[in-house]
Chain A
Amino acid sequence: MGRTADRRIREVESQAVTPRTAQQAAPGIFRARRSLYLQYLVEPFVYLSPAIVLIGVVMLIPLIIGISYSFQAIDLLRPFNTGWIGFANYLALWSDRKFWIALENTFTWTFWSITFQFLLGLGLALLLNTQFHGKKLFQALVFLPWAVPTFLSALTWAWLFNPVIGPLPHWLAALGILSEPYNILGDPALAMWGPIVANIWFGVPFFAITLLAALQSIPSELYEAAEIDGATSWQCFTKITLPFLAPMIAITVMLRTIWIANFADLIFVMTGGGPANSTHIVSSYIFTTAFRKLDFGYASAVAVALLLLLLVYAVVLLWLRKKLVRI
């Protein structure tokens, strides 16, 4: 298409020049020129239209409707009290203590989940990139958590934390971490760690798979060259492996952060946001507001706030990536 477009530009340009010299009074030249321009502008979008229509219907229109909801009062429990209310939802949000707790929880939840998922995933990837006996089996086992349905793993983890049927509280007590074997999911100070542990277990395979793929694409001669240059294993890791992994790390950490920040399934099944709202993250708060309290207007306002936060985050990370990554 590029070549035709180029040719067309050339035609347009040649026509733009010729009227002055040769065909001084040829009528219709300018009209033809404008229609050519129009064709040039519109044609690409005609080819793109299937994708545009799909994205519009599936993403853009719902997004716009969702944003418009945040400026309306839409509460199914008060059906007669609807309509545009300006920024009232956002003002309520500003003074909503539960929202701020949820926001703080979102940070805790996302930060610890992503940190441990990444570090353990990187460790596993490095391990799987070496040769050892039984590697195939180990590899299959590592990738297994990713294949377990979320709500099943959430239920299993909830049971594991239950002192009546699960071993974890007893182990933690035996190690002296807990004073007695009780269910940490019932303790507002510790409850958040239940879903975080489950999430780490669930998310490690993702990092292991993607980082392993990136590791395997590093040419082995580079390590040989570095070894001959005198690098130790640690220097090989920091000066070759990490720079090579950096683009993959940046993109996976960004993706996973956004997914995890929005990922309420584990929390919803394990604690339901309790006890005393201590484990609500923003997205589980949105879910309960919308589908338990049926206040769609307010839930939309919270969702827009979360969207803005994640947008800022993505921009910062992409900028960092551009700054740091040279490959």
Chain B
Amino acid sequence: MARIELKGVAKRYGSVEVLRDIDLEIGDGEFIVLVGPSGCGKSTLLRMIAGLEPISGGDFFIDGTRMNDARPRERDIAMVFQSYALYPHMDVARNMGFSMEIRRRPPAERTSRVKQAAETLGLSALTERLPRALSGGQRQRVAMGRAIVRDPRAFLFDEPLSNLDAALRVEMRLEIARLHKRLGATMVYVTHDQVEALTLADRIVVLDGGDIQQIGTPLTLYERPANKFVACFIGSPTMNVVPATGRDRTLSLKNGAQIALPQSAGLERAAELGIRPEHIDLVAPEDADLTGTVDLVEHLGSDTNVYVSIGDVGMLMVRRRGNAPIRSGERIFLRLQRENTHVFASDGSALAHASAEAA
């Protein structure tokens, strides 16, 4: 198992800079998820760790050894590809044992390792099949088996679940979490799906436009996003963000509503207020911060999403647990949970946070 360090790593294609000054330390046995919108450079970063893309700048270490120019096979890292990249002319067993075949390990060792991996992944009955005779989920498992058999220093996953249907995705997500628990291996996982990121990661790295926006545990990202991008990217449904101006410890919204925050620092730089749909309460008219009309109600069974339009402020989404008896056209009274309110400056960065102060 390995510690992976990136110091000021950059990637350039000609004059185009795809990744800038990436600093990241991945601890031994840690599960790191790289997440971001498409084109943010997360897959490129993963491929640079694997050795499939040359590193244009900075330093890259595995267990303290500089590995910038090492070939992939010298890095001893396994990777699971989005397309699985199974060898179509080899059966499942040979696919899984290919790395040992390459290293000329004795066949007995090879078969026993493959057998063991096949058992853990529930592939024992399929070892003689060719990849084309497997379903998507089975292929995914074989691709993971190929990585497990090698017992590498680290595992890399490049959007491994994006080709599966929703039900299977949940199942395989669980499988990967279990795998990490059992092997205790260092894993780096790329996805654009925040649910995968939040459920799997020890720490999440949010990337956008070639920069790291924030590194932190799933809860940190949810509760204390460093900026507006992270705030809107993490969490579903998305955070409500409305324009606001601040003075001392009070925010005023466009319709004149005043919201006093238990914040120590001044709010002079405030430009926007962010509040997650689940952090807005329905209250009696006299306690309300805002009053609005219900535009649309979505009943999801476990939750109810309510779209409320509030005069000049715009549209707010409110999420209620369970099946709330709300009808569209109704007048509704809202109160923002003070400790879960986020304030952003005009450059998008988050201002000091109430709950951060408390913590």
Contacts and interface: CB of A to CB of B under 8 A. Distances in A.
B89 A225 contact: no
Interface stretch (A227-235, A262-270, A276-284): A227-235
A299 B99 CA distance: 58
A172 interface: no
Given A228-B72, A229-B98, A240 B103 contact: no
Nearest to A231: B102
B249 to A, nearest CB: 55
B70 to A, nearest CB: 12
B71 interface: yes
Contact of A230 (B50, B83, B88, B102): B102
B81 A326 contact: no
Interface string A224-255: 11111111100100011001100000000000
A176 interface: no
Contacts of B71: 227
A229 B83 CA distance: 16
A225 B95 CA distance: 11
Nearest to A240: B87
A175 interface: no
A227 B73 contact: yes
A295 to B, nearest CB: 51
A32 to B, nearest CB: 45
A221 B83 contact: yes
B350 interface: no
B77 A228 contact: yes
A227 B89 CA distance: 17
Contacts of A230: 72-73, 99, 102-103
A219 B83 contact: yes
A224 B89 contact: no
A229 B150 contact: yes
B72 A227 contact: yes
A243 B88 CA distance: 10
B85 interface: yes
A190 interface: no
Nearest to A224: B52
Contact of B89 (A226, A229, A326): A326
A159 B163 CA distance: 61
B85 A244 contact: no
Contacts of B88: 327
A76 to B, nearest CB: 56
Interface of A is mostly: helix
Which residue of B78, B83, B87 has the most chain A CB atoms within 10 A of its CB atom?
Answer: B87
B130 interface: yes
B146 interface: yes
B81 A221 contact: yes
A244 B130 CA distance: 14
B79 A225 contact: yes
A229 B52 contact: no
Nearest to A222: B85
A221 B85 contact: yes
A221 B158 CA distance: 12
Interface string B81-99: 1010111110000000011
A225 B73 contact: no
Contact of A225 (B77, B81, B130): B81
Contacts of A244: 89
Contact of A228 (B78, B86, B89, B103): B78
Which residue of A221, A230, A231, A240 has the most chain B CB atoms within 10 A of its CB atom?
Answer: A230
B13 to A, nearest CB: 14
Contact of B87 (A222, A224, A232, A235): A222
Contacts of B89: 243-244, 326-327
A98 B89 CA distance: 47
B87 A228 contact: no
Given A222-B85, A327-B88, A228 B102 contact: no
A326 B52 CA distance: 29
Contacts of A239: 87, 98, 102
A229 B52 CA distance: 12
Contacts of B150: 229
Given A244-B89, A326-B89, A228 B83 contact: no
Nearest to A243: B89
B93 to A, nearest CB: 14
Contacts of B72: 224, 227-228, 230
B102 A219 contact: no
Contacts of B77: 228
Given A226-B102, A229-B73, 11 more contacts: A221-B83, A222-B85, A224-B72, A224-B79, A224-B85, A226-B98, A227-B51, A228-B72, A228-B78, A229-B146, A239-B98
8 contacts: A225-B146, A226-B87, A226-B102, A227-B72, A229-B73, A229-B99, A229-B146, A232-B102
Interface of A: 219, 221-222, 224-232, 235, 239-240, 243-244, 326-327
| 7 A-B pairs closest in CB distance | A221-B85, A230-B73, A225-B85, A229-B99, A243-B89, A227-B72, A228-B72
